[in-house]
Structure 1
Amino acid sequence: MAKYLLLKHYRGAPAAVNDVSMDHWSPEEVTAHIQYMNDFAAKLEEAGEYVDGQALAPDGMWVRYDGEGRPPVTDGPFAETKDLIAGFMIIDVDGPERAVELAGELSAAPGKDGKPIHEWLEVRPLYGEPSLVTE
């Protein structure tokens, strides 16, 4: 078994990576999307492939050590992008093929008008796990 991070990115404006703009979704569409995510996690939990997952609040900040005692803080969560890391899921699966398969299924979460959003998901092995890249 190997652990992988499925990272969900959203944008508040028209997106180059994901054509997902939740600003234009109705409350019912947001609820349906969240229910899909919860059902997906429950299915993985039943199969023993779910480790953890959380939605993230849209606010945040950047902090770094400055050597002066009070670290500087900037607005966040991203300094120069409209991307929002909306949430993550950690899965524990047999290998990279299964991680890609599950990410593809998760990408079909419903959005505007109940249609699959076909979002791009970032899939990354946790440090020390087998690579997704094969040559």
Structure 2
Amino acid sequence: MAKYLLLKHYRGAPNPVNDVPMDQWSPEEISAHIQYMQDFADRLERTGEFVDGQALSPDGLFVRYDGEGRPPVTDGPFPETKDLIAGWMIIDVHTHQRALELAGELSAAPGAGGKPIHEWLEVRPFLTEPPTITE
């Protein structure tokens, strides 16, 4: 089994398939989207492939060590950005192909008008061992 992080990217920019931004969805459309995500996670929990997941607030800060012990903090990410990480899910699957299949299915969550939103999901394998250095 290998763990993968699925990062859900919300793109405020027009999507050629379903270009209605989430802030313009009806409460019913938002509820249907959330229910799809929950049903997806529940199904993967039953198969043993679900590890964890969480939606993220659009509010956040950037922090970076400054070399003097006082990390500077700046605003961001901003909700009006064209690309915002909206949430994540960790899955534990037998093959890379299975991770891609699940990401594709999750990308089809319904949006405005019940149409699949075809959102971008970043699929990142967990690093399981340090890279080998050869000379």
8 Å CA contact retained: 1:2, 1:93: yes
Identity among equivalent positions (%) equals: 79
Instruction: Tell me how large the CA RMSD over aligned residues is.
Output: 1.9
Q: Which residue of 1 aligns with 2:49?
A: 49
| Structure 1: segments with no counterpart, 5+ residues | 130-135
Q: Which residue of 1 aligns with 2:92?
A: 92
**Could you list the runs of 4 or more consecutive aligned residues of structure 1 that deviate by over 3 angstroms after TM superposition?**
none
TM-score by length of 1: 0.85
Secondary structure of 2:110's match?
A: coil
What pairs with 1:18-97 in structure 2 (closer than 5 Å)? 19=19, 21-77=21-77, 81-97=81-97
| Structure 2: segments with no counterpart, 5+ residues | 130-135
Q: Which of structures 1 and 2 has the bigger CA Rg?
A: 2
Going from structure 1 to structure 2, the CA distance change for 1:100 and 1:23 (only over 3 Å counts) comes to: same
Secondary structure of 2:88's match?
A: strand
**Counterpart Cα distance in 2 of 1:84 and 1:26:** 21
Paired positions, count: 126
8 Å CA contact retained: 1:5, 1:124: yes
Secondary structure of 1:10's match?
A: strand
TM-score by length of 2: 0.85
Q: Is residue 124 of structure 2 the alignment partner of residue 114 of structure 1?
A: no
